[in-house]
Amino acid sequence: MKKLLLVLFVALGSVAAKAQEIKWMTFDEAQAAQKKSPKPIFMDVYTDWCGPCKILDKQTFHDPKVIEYISKNYYAVKFNAEGQPDVTYKGKKYSNPGYVEGRKGRNATHEFTRILNLQGYPTMMVFDKKGEIINTIVGLHTPEQLLTALQEQ
């Protein structure tokens, strides 16, 4: 009986933990969602080799208050600045022609990053309901720092 209760408790805890996550989507998916139900886009721009990006992902983006705020107020996008998927922005398609599948460490930079005028990684961008960049947040932020930056817009 005790084992059954323990298994049930662990299973319920896992379900609750999974429910507490930001629902990330692609930029194209977020733009399509904006057309149906307008709200701003929050974009996390990262690279696979970026240490602060990993900390931001594991700590700040898993904070319950951050999850709730971003989920309620934005379409959340994860964008790998050295990734392969094409991005369409303001009618123009951007790609990463130099991308090498399976490369370890740094890869070619995606063309879309030039439009974003990135100063470093991680960078978080906020796009208004019309797709215009209205805020750029550069660097590793604690949950409190990120919430303050987002609420000051």
User: Does pLDDT of 103 surpass 90?
Assistant: no
User: Does pLDDT of 95 surpass 60?
Assistant: yes
Region 31-45 average pLDDT: 96
Least confident of 3-7, 24-28, 46-50, 84-88: 3-7
How big is the CA angle at 57 (ends 49 and 95), to the nearest 5 degrees?
A: 55
Q: What is the pLDDT, as a whole number, of residue 17? A: 44
Residue 14 pLDDT grade (very low, low, confident, very high; cuts 50, 70, 90)? very low
pLDDT in tens, 140-152: 999 999 999 999 8
What is the secondary structure of 107-125 as a DSSP string? -PPPTHHHHHT--SSSEEE
Query: Is 24 strand, coil or helix?
Result: strand
Query: Is 78 strand, coil or helix?
Result: strand
Q: Contact, 109 vs 60, CB < 8 A? A: no
User: Does pLDDT of 9 surpass 80?
Assistant: no
Q: What is the pLDDT, as a whole number, of residue 153? A: 72
Which strand (E) or helix (H) includes residue 127? Answer: strand 123-127
Q: Average pLDDT, whole number, for the chain?
A: 89
The total number of residues shown for the chain amounts to 153
Q: What is the pLDDT, as a whole number, of residue 10? A: 44
